[in-house]
Amino acid sequence: MKRRFVFVGLAVLALAAVASVWAESDPRIGAWKLNVPKSTSSNGQLPASETRTYTAQGSDIMGSTEGVNAKGKPISTHYNATADGKDRPSGSDASITLSIKQIGFGAYAGTIKKDGNVIGTNTAVISGGGKVFTFKSKGTDAEGKSFTSTLVFEKQ
């Protein structure tokens, strides 16, 4: 019985170590700056500036977004960006959730919900030798209008 307990304990520690190393090797890790001239939006609501930063915290990937929106107001959000398909709070508004799943190496699909209803989807792909992160999104903006956008970020 004691051996089984020790074995299970060691297995849990090994899995935790592997998950931590896997998170640290995630290609999103680092800072990404929006290239506004290369980005597009059907509703004209491109941020004036934006930097997304991803960090490994144990087996989780944490994201933060800082910048200035199209109306000149500051943007600042912090969220769990772990690609496990689970709905997680997105920023300070608890009614908005984000789920991300990995669909290939350096490729992700995301779903944004408000009060449980899907308001947006996106795909994100890292290309250019790991130096370009492109998000293609579609959904409904804060005014209730449909939009599509392509945001191009460059690794810093």
Q: Residue 78 is part of which domain span? A: 2-155
Number of domains in the chain: 1
pLDDT in tens, the chain (156 residues): 555 444 444 344 333 333 334 456 899 999 999 999 999 999 988 999 999 999 999 999 999 999 999 999 999 999 999 999 999 998 888 899 999 999 999 999 999 999 999 999 999 999 999 999 999 999 998 888 999 999 999 999
Which pTM does this prediction carry? 0.82
Q: Write the CATH number for 31.
A: 2.40.128.20
Q: How many other CB atoms are there within 10 angstroms of residue 49's CB atom? A: 13
